Structure 1
């Protein structure tokens, strides 16, 4: 074991965009545009309409319709306070502790989504559905749903615990990240997307798809132009639901955010779903009281979406940087941790990737939870151990104690490479001294550490 750690900390856990991709100049210009015209600034600084800032709804509808080749419909768009707040509000409006029987989460999962479900009153009821090489398997999910339905067959129906006028309560909630999933990076192929929507319709389920990485994909070759290929423009679950014909609320909602394509501090996002579903999102008591969330931020972002500067920034600044960082990290892992089992592509059979994370397997006979603790103490290195990406409360669900997640979006390339070197050296030491490391480090990791390094 090393007696001293490197002075320079490296954080390969933090899933934040680097400062170098934050559009500070664009935000400055857009803010000035909003504040310099009282006809714009006054409504931007007042309470907003319940469905959100109208110019942003219009401009996002245009951008999304062009990108995904769907018809424009602003009635499908509702502005939110970001993807996380949006999930909480979806659960307030469309799930109930007595009516909703199943809560299904892709496993491995985005680790901080579980507390959102738990805060909504569903602690201990989340069930993980393991990914295979193509992502979540609708056949396995249906088998689990049928098992639950059989156990509930003789249970009497209970009245809902709350009244939600203008909304509905679903029997099942299914959470996925359809494109470039966090942490695995996997993208669901079209046939699985269609199967999931049909399954949701069959079992009165709502598919919540975190679509926060849809605009952050790239070809794997450094020499390839950053053109959008068909594999990077797959229909969202909400698009498929729409194409199949929606009456009423539908069975899929696309949960979008500006956190990854603009700045997390703007605290603004959007949902796209059926007009009835989106209207229901705007009818919550907190929205009726406070007006649209992120009203001023939405006005600023609207300028950037309308004039095309945000899309240009995504394509000319964020995507090139992410590709460079991702390929640098993959190369370093292959060079310094050759025993790691890793998939470079998000979409099986296509040379594309997206998102912020690399997910791989190491087998040294010790839990990666121990590796993460040793990395912090001995290497001044923060990594994501696989165990924290298991679905919270699902005691019989999939475990990932041999997995590691590294983020390539936050640290610069030289730190990514140095971090992998430190990790490789540590893994070698730990494999040669298993008993010593097992005794030295406890197998507990506090939630404060996880939250602080999200």
Structure 2
């Protein structure tokens, strides 16, 4: 057996550099650096809440895409250093490692979120919530919330123990983390019905819903060659928008949902710039994390560069004319190859919707008795093919569940590899599966 010399990577969940708008960023940076009125304040610390023009333009841009019932004002936006930094800051401001009973994660999950929960003191308090066909098993979650609340009452855990009161923060009893649209890794889209019920549960148990809404604009028709009727509009309302309208709106001035956004999938992870959107109280609270109070908003200078791309329509054109068609082509190439080469071997494919697809990934299940961990090792050794085993995306630390829930699953990423590598990678995987089944 000859091992291919050219590597194929279907593991890395990064955007391909060829799809990133470097020329647009260069022109924008030149404008900023040659305009003292922008460059001089842009090179200083900046306000805690972030570069004001970007907050204004992000609010308008999000409003045009999500079209929520309520108006998105700049005061609902806090500029951040990207979705990961945002999540860490949210944990610092809005949770207490004693009073906050549990962190719930939809399972399977974005695998690197767990380190942030660990760093915030929740290693022993992380719990899973299984997915169902509509994105989250709400009966399971409700039972878990009820049990956790009974335990807290029995332990007299009635107020924050570590963090004293501050006017810019509210300590929530629970935090629920999810990627509700084109989830990483399973590509599920949480239904609107489930989102509404989830918001009601969050209000009932005083939970903060934190959602990574980072893939929402990367959407296309689920059928090859088809077109979405409204590619410039979100396929379902965000949880923060549901909290804005459901049953008359938020139950208090804080609300129970935060949308965690990022330019990483649109302009490049290296820009290290994102935003959180929530109630005005929550957005301001997010800006008051100690590192921002000390140094100002993260990515302040990058914010001035990115800001040039929004009111001009450059970012929208890049999403519509470059990212959506390029990722749609890659998605359908990979899916077609899976259906041709893997499905006949007993592999099954998770598809979130018959009308809309999106994100970065395809989630497959291997036939019994194959285990993904062994297949991944053989693929690397025998075919020079990198893959991500499903166990990598299990919620870690939940003592009530086994750690082999996704032992037969593999996540395939179509964003990083060149299009010519997608079909080749699947052919290599098929060869591994055939040898493993012999």
**Structure-2-length-normalised TM-score:** 0.95
Cross-structure match for 1:322:
327
Q: Does 1:296 align with 2:294?
A: no
Cα distance, 1:145 vs structure 2: 1.0
Cross-structure match for 1:237:
239
Structure 2 CA distance, aligned partners of 1:84 and 1:159?
25
Once the two structures are superposed, residues 397-430 of structure 1 have per-residue CA deviations (whole angstroms, 9 ceiling, x without a partner) of: 3610010100000101210111101111001111
Given that 2:219 and 2:231 are in contact with CA atoms closer than 8 Å, whether structure 1 keeps it comes out as no
Structure 1 CA distance, aligned partners of 2:124 and 2:335?
36
How many equivalent residue pairs? 427
**Structure-1-length-normalised TM-score:** 0.91
Cross-structure match for 1:49:
47
Once the two structures are superposed, residues 367-402 of structure 1 have per-residue CA deviations (whole angstroms, 9 ceiling, x without a partner) of: 201111111111111101011111011243361001
Structure 2 CA distance, aligned partners of 1:33 and 1:415?
38
Q: State the secondary structure of the residue aligned to 1:314.
A: helix
Cross-structure match for 1:375:
379
Q: CA 1:159–1:276 in 2, change beyond 3 Å: closer, same or farther?
A: closer
Q: State the secondary structure of the residue aligned to 2:434.
A: helix
Once the two structures are superposed, residues 351-374 of structure 1 have per-residue CA deviations (whole angstroms, 9 ceiling, x without a partner) of: 210100000111241320111111
Cross-structure match for 1:393:
397
Cross-structure match for 1:103:
103
Given that 1:93 and 1:164 are in contact with CA atoms closer than 8 Å, whether structure 2 keeps it comes out as no
Given that 2:54 and 2:307 are in contact with CA atoms closer than 8 Å, whether structure 1 keeps it comes out as yes
Equivalent positions of 1:120-131 (< 5 A) are 120-131=120-131
Query: Please, which runs of 5 or more residues in structure 1 have no aligned partner?
Result: 433-454
Given that 1:253 and 1:272 are in contact with CA atoms closer than 8 Å, whether structure 2 keeps it comes out as yes
Once the two structures are superposed, residues 130-189 of structure 1 have per-residue CA deviations (whole angstroms, 9 ceiling, x without a partner) of: 111211122221111112222333112254212352101110110011100000001011
Structure 2 CA distance, aligned partners of 1:419 and 1:89?
38
Structure 2 CA distance, aligned partners of 1:90 and 1:205?
13
Structure 2 CA distance, aligned partners of 1:198 and 1:122?
24
Cross-structure match for 1:415:
421
Equivalent residue for 1:306, pick from 311, 317, 336 = 311
Q: State the secondary structure of the residue aligned to 2:306.
A: helix
Cross-structure match for 1:8:
6
Structure 2 CA distance, aligned partners of 1:233 and 1:226?
10
Cα distance, 1:226 vs structure 2: 4.8
Q: State the secondary structure of the residue aligned to 1:121.
A: coil
Equivalent positions of 1:13-412 (< 5 A) are 13-70=11-68, 71-157=71-157, 159-163=160-164, 165=166, 166-228=168-230, 232-244=234-246, 245-246=249-250, 247-338=252-343, 339-344=346-351, 346-347=352-353, 350-397=354-401, 399-412=405-418
Once the two structures are superposed, residues 80-115 of structure 1 have per-residue CA deviations (whole angstroms, 9 ceiling, x without a partner) of: 000001000000001111110011000000111111
Given that 1:217 and 1:352 are in contact with CA atoms closer than 8 Å, whether structure 2 keeps it comes out as yes
Per mean C-alpha deviation after superposition, the further-off stretch among 392-401 and 355-364 is 392-401
Once the two structures are superposed, residues 25-48 of structure 1 have per-residue CA deviations (whole angstroms, 9 ceiling, x without a partner) of: 110011011111100111111111
Q: State the secondary structure of the residue aligned to 2:181.
A: coil
Given that 1:30 and 1:301 are in contact with CA atoms closer than 8 Å, whether structure 2 keeps it comes out as yes
Given that 1:193 and 1:237 are in contact with CA atoms closer than 8 Å, whether structure 2 keeps it comes out as yes
Structure 2 CA distance, aligned partners of 1:333 and 1:124?
38
Given that 2:169 and 2:282 are in contact with CA atoms closer than 8 Å, whether structure 1 keeps it comes out as yes
Cα distance, 1:228 vs structure 2: 2.0
Cα distance, 1:212 vs structure 2: 0.2
Cross-structure match for 1:443:
none
Structure 1 CA distance, aligned partners of 2:437 and 2:234?
39
Structure 2 CA distance, aligned partners of 1:41 and 1:226?
40
Q: State the secondary structure of the residue aligned to 1:17.
A: coil
The alignment yields a C-alpha RMSD, in angstroms, of: 1.5
Cross-structure match for 1:429:
435
Given that 1:391 and 1:397 are in contact with CA atoms closer than 8 Å, whether structure 2 keeps it comes out as no
Given that 2:97 and 2:122 are in contact with CA atoms closer than 8 Å, whether structure 1 keeps it comes out as yes
Q: State the secondary structure of the residue aligned to 2:30.
A: helix
Cα distance, 1:233 vs structure 2: 3.0
Once the two structures are superposed, residues 105-126 of structure 1 have per-residue CA deviations (whole angstroms, 9 ceiling, x without a partner) of: 0000011111111111111321
Structure 2 CA distance, aligned partners of 1:177 and 1:11?
23
Structure 1 CA distance, aligned partners of 2:364 and 2:90?
32
